[in-house]
Structure 1
Amino acid sequence: MSKPLMLLVDGSSYLYRAYHALPDLRGPNGQPTGALHGMVAMLKKLRDDCGAEHAACVFDASGPTFRDEWYPEYKAQRAPMPDALREQIDPIHEVVKLLGWPVLTVPGVEADDCIGTLARVAAQAGHQVLISTGDKDLAQLVTPDVHLINTMTNEKLDEAGVVAKFGVPPDRIIDYLTLMGDTVDNVPGVEKVGPKTAAKWIAEHGSLDGVIANAASIKGVAGENLRKALDWLPMGRKLVTVKVDCDLCTHVAGWPALEALAFNPVDEAGLLDFYARHGFKTWKRDLEGKLGGAAPKHAAPEADLGGDRPQDPYASLPTPEVPLDKQYETIVDMSRLDAWVERLNAAELAAFDTETDSLDAMKARIVGISFSVEPGKAAYIPLRHDGPDAPEQLPMDEVLARLKPWLEDPLKKKVAQNVKYDTHVLLNHGIAVQGTAYDTMLESYVLEAHRGHGLEALADRVLGRKGLSYEDLCGKGAHQIPFAQVEVAKASEYSCEDSEMCLHVHQILMPRLEADAGLKFIYEQIEMPVSALLARIERNGVLIEASRLQAQSADLGQRMVAAEQAAYEIAGQPFNIGSPKQIGEILFNRLGLPVVKRTATGAPSTDEEVLEKLSADFPLPAKILEYRALSKLKSTYTDKLPLMVNAETGRVHTTYSQAVAVTGRLSSNEPNLQNIPIRTADGRRVREAFVAPAGHCIVSADYSQIELRIMAHMSEDPGLLRAFQEGQDVHRATAAEVFGAALDAVTPEQRRYAKTINFGLIYGMGAFGLAQSLGIEQKAAKDYIDRYFTRFAGVRRYMDETKQFAKEKGYVETVFGRRLWLPEINSGNGPRRSGAERQAINAPMQGTAADLIKLAMIAVQQALDEQGKKTRIVMQVHDELVFEVPDGELDWIKSEIPTLMAGVAALKVPLLAEVGVGANWDEAH
């Protein structure tokens, strides 16, 4: 018969780890909830998974403990608990109890000692004990009946596991910790003795006592440090030893019996109120479903981690009820199709969704199509299902012919999820969809760019609904079947659900957009027009000269072989130049190069940053970098691009994604045209293969110093404004101010420094980063930054005010009102908070630049259409537009494009767009 299980949770360890692991989540009233989320998720899972009958969640009490009496410096260096975590302690204790966990907090005794005592007594009483913790100190408690689990890594430690992880058995963990010390608790050990040395000494001498007895014979610096620490080690051992005999009589009823630590029933009514107060929407819906409420039950607490932000502009808007009566229809006869066409034509707004045979929008063909005119009601038309149970279906040509007038009518308003994809699919069938007034993916993106925008995630988050997933129908991986083979009844439910949930999501999101003028402008005047334009650009594609790329591939391959052979000669032996492990062995073991940094596993790193640093003094790292650069170009571009040419068009057709980058920038994939390197001659050669057809040329147009101009506009700094308004070289003007020189006396070196400072500050660079970029001392870099802010005080004021705005609101905004959320801006984790502060400075610049280039795309295409030009936009890359221009339109393009791009917004400084012309992209750039 198996032993009953006692589950002990190191609550103090987990609340800190949850606080630092999760973003700065907030509840409805702005209260922090990150640690609370983590604790609730972990405790719910533990109780459900482990099947224990007895348990305790143990927390440290405030105030000193007996260890402080032994050693006044104990934990003296530990930073005070962050305010945002302290605010969560009482709610954490409250919810732990509501979840049915006995809670134990003993004044004057640390949580570790309570856990040690409980574990000892429970094991003696015949229990199997599982301790949930991330604290290595508790490994000393492991026995055949006491095991550890780390729920954040799912690591489980029995006796063998402790030996495998630490190199010593559980009964030697105290010795191991004594030798190493504990910097977190300010317990000194033997100086410069780490885990490997401590485990080695214990293995050699049997125990700490054995190490002490043989201290005189241990050689080297470590031996000297050991001898210096001999007087301290007894106290160190005392401090790291977990007590297992604490008196818990006044805190555990009936002690040492354990009945008081039996799990209690979950207080569901209390939990429901708690979830509502703290904004735990998903858990609240789950519990309401269990208790018989209206919301459906589904398990996905992760989807709720965004919480409700403070200053939520949508909190007061009504949420339509979830439809309970779903009326879905599968259309297999013409009379029902005609009836639905009538409904579509009569509807003020209808949603539609295509089901296809490919994710490649340029190649996808329709398998079926669905429509909805109100939430809960939809119809699916199967057209090309070919599974064994597939019914007779209506002829595709006839169906599409009857739907085409509605689909192409610009006055019939339509909504879809990722409408650009459906536009391509229908174009593949000769239907040019018009009237697509709304896109739920873009609605979500404009409202909250930092969150997920798939329809499944939106339905869960916005509607509290769980629909069928694609994997539910088609399976996963190698066993996934084509959609055409899905049973029609299931396909119909899936597609109908997509259409009507899309319509329902739109009904909720659109009022939120209309409630904010800035967001409404971004959605209606930028994102929706850009979506339609991107479909045209993707359709245009760009002409690739495959033979040129193939020649480049051959050349790169030969140079890779030469670089590899040169690396072997420098190393003195062959090795796998693609293996970081073998590179590390050659660089650091054989050649003895200095270790710059280590990986998470402790091995010397051989990443690009490390090799760059080593290249300044050693030839082999430079040769490895050369090989890697050549290999990346060859595999990513010169080999791959020719294979991606569309057989029907002879062109490469990338896909531009709008709803990815939180700043509003577009991303490009299959192929990624945004990351072709341009700082090297080899990278620029790849652009030579992007060519114009006969009788045409390539024109590149981009904004000059756009982010610096936006900084001048937003900061209103007089010095920056003057430099741009007077048409000065802004880097030279900055150098003149920083170095106190006349404009015509600025040296090239001073201009280079000023350029680095200008761009560095936009990206939140501090003195350390500037020193690295310029190769100077950090103090000198700080002096330059201080001098810059003295001369450009408006920039400093803007940065300070922007960070404060971000901390108060949780987001920053572009000039046009795009909202850029910063979930970590009030994080208790210092590095995360600092990163968010840097993003707060840069995001308005990047986001405004993204808005400007999108407005430029719209303005230019509108002019091309109005004047009947045949020029086509074939690429958009960061702040650049690339055109394919007939020779006869070149003069017009060179004259009009800069004017159109400069005129899309009136900033406090002039916008400047420049154009280049060439037979290929490299020549034009």
Structure 2
Amino acid sequence: MTYTRTHAGRTMTVHAPTGEGDFDLAAFEAFTVSDPVLGLDVEGRAIVEGGPGHFGPDAGLRLVQFGTVDTAWVLNPLIPAQRWAIERTLAHPDLRFTTHTNYDVLAIWSAFGIALGQRVVDTHLLSKLVQPDERAGHGLKDLSLRYLDDGLVQAQQALYERMRHLAPTGQRAGNNPLTWGWNHIPATDEAYTVYAGLDAVYVRRLLPVLLAACAPFSHLVRMEQWLAAQSTGITVRGLLLDRPYTEGLLADVQGEFEQASAAIQDALGFSGTSPRFAHWLDSQITGSPLPRTASGRPQVTADTLTQLAQDLAGGAATITAEGAAMLAARRAMAATTNTRTNLRSFLATADAEGRVHPQVSTLRARTGRMAITAPALQTLKKHDPRLRHCFRAEDGHVLVGCDFSAVEVRVAAALSRDATLMRVIASGVDIHDATAELMYGKDFTKEQRTVGKRATFGTIYGGGAKALAAQTGVPISVARQVIQRWQRTYPDVIRFGKTIAEAPVVVTGSGRRIPPDPQRPYANSNYAIQSTARDLLVASVHELAVVHGMASRLWLFVHDEVIVHVPEHDAEKVRDLLTEVMTTQFRGVPIAAEAEILGTHWGRLPEPPSSTATAPAAA
């Protein structure tokens, strides 16, 4: 079948052969070489959220579409001749494609085992380079409507109406018609095939528009596309889950939660998550009432409970004995809730071989900082290695990690040219020790160092006295004095922040353009610092992968850390290489890094206490 659609004066043709007999292979092959870059899109079965995604039993392709700026072919991989043509086209080393997000790239790998690698350009990444704000709307429909016309939006609306019409009576509530439709709508349905074909056409039409918008920073396009391919490789390879350990830890944590929850229920007659608990706990406190919601009700969250504990420890509040016991139980519930959620997500997202395939979004934040989802591995803290320990290396291999040391502070010094901060960094002493000494003198306390460290990062990121007080537990008046001392110690950092706050666009050293937030101009310095630190990491990753041939060894990027997976006998050599590559400089300021052999697991658990048996006395 052949369909045409005309929008904004442009006529687009969709070829959708329904079987072996009406598939003109010669015409299709002539089409595939008619354009140096083909739009590529797929229609798959509905994938259940929270599972293995493309690597689980829900995955499966129903259609594969190729497009030029005015023509699309929609092929069915269940028809042998069409599947052969799909695979031949995708695997051809001289053919190039453009997609929107790596969903299609992963789907192609899952269905055909074909890696597109550097042969694909992602228009979603181009859009994020043009407008880094996540709220700007970077979906294919949003961009088509913004830059082209409403043809694709109309095709989507027609498809959704068709799905609702075809869905069985029991599948017509909420989003059920769409879920049903992606799995069951006939592959030959006109609304379905037209929508599918136009997806490939519109992504191809978007490509030159977005490339033109990226012209002022075109050098970033190649690097970001390269980095996206590396992150896709990480997703495909996956991370091996230590299932017995993960299941055991979940059982332990679940037991802790249930024990704490039962203690509250038995003592008070209601749950620790009930609104009644917040009112009860508030009645047990003197001197520091719980924060209120907008409606005036006491608020119990992990943060408010932590703040209350700090107030009690510092003498700012008092609590009854029963209140203290219930507070401890409720804090135990809060401490285990996030851990349970993470452990369950690890188990749910693992494929049949026990591998988790996280999605690494390489341009998630407006600064270019990366994020990891499904599961959210960037949220796992180093100081609690239990969750990181769930992931392990292959037999005979180890993980080696390397991260920058206080990179944001070093970048702040380089950008602001603050002489005192640059001198501290050049001396090689601990930055936070030196800052505490400059602020308080040589006899600074451990607490003063902690407050000074928090003030360093808070000031760099535009935080104020209220935020510092919340993070450290000191009174706001003290926090205000600390910040004033910090500002007097490093005045050029403050001057840099005030100057860049007036910039209409933040332009980083790599040429990245970051639009400011009109409501938060003070955040511009944060954008410049964080984005620069991110690009320094990417430069190191590129050198490791391209110069030293370690692309296939990349295991994960987390914040300012690179983790690689290597044979155990190469661990020391790779550790030294990582340190060498990531130890660099930026505008004359040293960027320090130190690698370590993490071992067989990502998180290193503390050694159990040793018990030394006492030998019996000699007779």
Report if TM-score (shorter chain) is over 0.5: yes
Bigger-Rg structure (1/2): 1
- Report the CA distance between 1:625 and its aligned residue: 1.7
Q: Which runs of structure 2 are paired with 1:877-888 in the superposition (5 Å)?
A: 877-888=558-569
- Report the CA distance between 1:799 and its aligned residue: 0.6
Letter in 1 for 2:219: F
Q: Taking structure 1 as reference, are residues 465 and 630 closer, same or farther at Cα in structure 2, changes over 3 Å only?
A: same
Letter in 2 for 1:327: T
3-state SS of paired residue (1:839)? helix
1:587 is the counterpart of 2:267:
no
Match of 2:537 among 838, 842, 853: 853
3-state SS of paired residue (1:787)? helix
- Report the CA distance between 1:453 and its aligned residue: 0.9
Q: Taking structure 1 as reference, are residues 715 and 463 closer, same or farther at Cα in structure 2, changes over 3 Å only?
A: same
Q: Which runs of structure 2 are paired with 1:834-873 in the superposition (5 Å)?
A: 836-865=520-549, 872-873=553-554
Q: Taking structure 1 as reference, are residues 874 and 471 closer, same or farther at Cα in structure 2, changes over 3 Å only?
A: farther
Letter in 2 for 1:554: A
Letter in 2 for 1:329: H
Which residue in the other structure is 2:614 paired with? none
- Report the CA distance between 1:552 and its aligned residue: 1.3
The answer (yes or no) to whether the contact 2:100–2:122 under 8 Å persists in 1 is yes
Percentage of identical aligned residues: 23
Match of 2:145 among 441, 457, 460: 460
Q: Distance in 1 between matches of 2:93 and 2:573?
A: 31
Which residue in the other structure is 1:786 paired with? 484
3-state SS of paired residue (2:299)? coil
1:625-678 CA distance string (max 9 Å, x none): 2212113212x123342233210x321111122353222122222211111244
Q: Distance in 1 between matches of 2:483 and 2:408?
A: 19
Letter in 2 for 1:399: Q
Q: Taking structure 1 as reference, are residues 408 and 910 closer, same or farther at Cα in structure 2, changes over 3 Å only?
A: farther
Q: What's the TM-score, normalizing by structure 2?
A: 0.84
The answer (yes or no) to whether the contact 1:373–1:500 under 8 Å persists in 2 is yes
The answer (yes or no) to whether the contact 1:427–1:433 under 8 Å persists in 2 is no
Which residue in the other structure is 2:446 paired with? 748
1:261-316 CA distance string (max 9 Å, x none): xxxxxxxxxxxxxxxxxxxxxxxxxxxxxxxxxx97xxxxxxxxxxxxxxxxxxxx
- Report the CA distance between 1:351 and its aligned residue: 1.1
The answer (yes or no) to whether the contact 2:510–2:535 under 8 Å persists in 1 is yes
Which residue in the other structure is 1:330 paired with? 16
Letter in 1 for 2:296: G
Q: Which runs of structure 2 are paired with 1:711-722 in the superposition (5 Å)?
A: 711-722=412-423
Q: Taking structure 1 as reference, are residues 365 and 907 closer, same or farther at Cα in structure 2, changes over 3 Å only?
A: farther
Q: Distance in 2 between matches of 1:534 and 1:599?
A: 41
Match of 2:302 among 583, 587, 608: 608
Q: Taking structure 1 as reference, are residues 641 and 403 closer, same or farther at Cα in structure 2, changes over 3 Å only?
A: closer
The answer (yes or no) to whether the contact 1:803–1:837 under 8 Å persists in 2 is yes
- Report the CA distance between 1:437 and its aligned residue: 4.4
Which residue in the other structure is 1:228 paired with? none
3-state SS of paired residue (2:11)? coil
Q: Taking structure 1 as reference, are residues 795 and 691 closer, same or farther at Cα in structure 2, changes over 3 Å only?
A: same
The answer (yes or no) to whether the contact 1:916–1:924 under 8 Å persists in 2 is no
Structure 2 residue runs without a partner (length 5+): 1-5, 48-52, 165-173, 313-318, 607-619
Q: Taking structure 1 as reference, are residues 773 and 876 closer, same or farther at Cα in structure 2, changes over 3 Å only?
A: same
Q: Distance in 2 between matches of 1:870 and 1:347?
A: 30
- Report the CA distance between 1:592 and its aligned residue: 7.6
Q: Taking structure 1 as reference, are residues 400 and 898 closer, same or farther at Cα in structure 2, changes over 3 Å only?
A: farther
Match of 1:441 among 101, 104, 124: 124
Letter in 2 for 1:556: V
3-state SS of paired residue (1:355)? strand
1:422 is the counterpart of 2:105:
yes
1:632 is the counterpart of 2:338:
yes
- Report the CA distance between 1:870 and its aligned residue: 9.2
The answer (yes or no) to whether the contact 2:544–2:581 under 8 Å persists in 1 is yes
- Report the CA distance between 1:529 and its aligned residue: 0.6
Q: Taking structure 1 as reference, are residues 890 and 501 closer, same or farther at Cα in structure 2, changes over 3 Å only?
A: same
The answer (yes or no) to whether the contact 1:414–1:435 under 8 Å persists in 2 is no
Q: Distance in 1 between matches of 2:163 and 2:593?
A: 49
Match of 1:486 among 185, 188, 192: 185
Q: What's the TM-score, normalizing by structure 1?
A: 0.57
Letter in 2 for 1:485: H
3-state SS of paired residue (2:563)? strand
Q: Distance in 1 between matches of 2:308 and 2:448?
A: 27
Q: Distance in 2 between matches of 1:434 and 1:553?
A: 37
Q: Distance in 2 between matches of 1:651 and 1:852?
A: 30
Q: Distance in 2 between matches of 1:864 and 1:440?
A: 29
3-state SS of paired residue (2:500)? helix
Q: Distance in 2 between matches of 1:602 and 1:464?
A: 48
Which residue in the other structure is 1:577 paired with? 272
- Report the CA distance between 1:852 and its aligned residue: 2.5
Which residue in the other structure is 2:349 paired with? 644
3-state SS of paired residue (2:31)? helix
Which residue in the other structure is 2:434 paired with? 733
Q: Distance in 2 between matches of 1:547 and 1:772?
A: 39
Q: Which runs of structure 2 are paired with 1:792-803 in the superposition (5 Å)?
A: 792-803=490-501
1:51-73 CA distance string (max 9 Å, x none): xxxxxxxxxxxxxxxxxxxxxxx
Which residue in the other structure is 1:362 paired with? 55
Q: Distance in 2 between matches of 1:719 and 1:504?
A: 52
- Report the CA distance between 1:711 and its aligned residue: 0.7
1:421-443 CA distance string (max 9 Å, x none): 32442453132225534211111
1:697 is the counterpart of 2:377:
no
1:568-613 CA distance string (max 9 Å, x none): 57xx42211222x121232235778853322122222223332223
Q: Distance in 2 between matches of 1:757 and 1:695?
A: 44
Q: Distance in 1 between matches of 2:392 and 2:531?
A: 30
- Report the CA distance between 1:497 and its aligned residue: 0.9
1:781-821 CA distance string (max 9 Å, x none): 3333223222312101101111011xxx1x32333122222
- Report the CA distance between 1:838 and its aligned residue: 3.7
- Report the CA distance between 1:410 and its aligned residue: 4.3
Q: Distance in 2 between matches of 1:916 and 1:722?
A: 27
Structure 1 residue runs without a partner (length 5+): 1-294, 297-321, 385-393, 826-832
Match of 1:923 among 589, 604, 615: 604
Q: Taking structure 1 as reference, are residues 793 and 589 closer, same or farther at Cα in structure 2, changes over 3 Å only?
A: closer
Letter in 1 for 2:254: G
The answer (yes or no) to whether the contact 2:102–2:232 under 8 Å persists in 1 is no
Equivalenced residues, count? 561
Which residue in the other structure is 1:184 paired with? none
1:115-163 CA distance string (max 9 Å, x none): xxxxxxxxxxxxxxxxxxxxxxxxxxxxxxxxxxxxxxxxxxxxxxxxx
Q: Which runs of structure 2 are paired with 1:504-653 in the superposition (5 Å)?
A: 504-514=205-215, 516-517=216-217, 520-525=218-223, 527-568=224-265, 572-579=267-274, 581-588=275-282, 595-616=289-310, 617=312, 618=319, 619=324, 620-634=326-340, 636-647=341-352, 649-653=353-357
Q: Distance in 1 between matches of 2:463 and 2:306?
A: 20
The answer (yes or no) to whether the contact 2:65–2:197 under 8 Å persists in 1 is yes
Structure number with the bigger relative contact order (C-alpha 8 A, sep ≥ 6) is 2
Q: Taking structure 1 as reference, are residues 774 and 419 closer, same or farther at Cα in structure 2, changes over 3 Å only?
A: closer
3-state SS of paired residue (1:921)? coil
The answer (yes or no) to whether the contact 2:42–2:104 under 8 Å persists in 1 is no
Which residue in the other structure is 1:340 paired with? 28
Match of 2:77 among 363, 383, 386: 383
Q: Taking structure 1 as reference, are residues 352 and 769 closer, same or farther at Cα in structure 2, changes over 3 Å only?
A: closer
With 408-417 and 760-769 compared, the bigger mean Cα shift is at 408-417
3-state SS of paired residue (1:639)? helix
1:401 is the counterpart of 2:106:
no
- Report the CA distance between 1:535 and its aligned residue: 1.1
- Report the CA distance between 1:538 and its aligned residue: 0.6
Q: Taking structure 1 as reference, are residues 435 and 919 closer, same or farther at Cα in structure 2, changes over 3 Å only?
A: closer
Q: Taking structure 1 as reference, are residues 410 and 709 closer, same or farther at Cα in structure 2, changes over 3 Å only?
A: farther
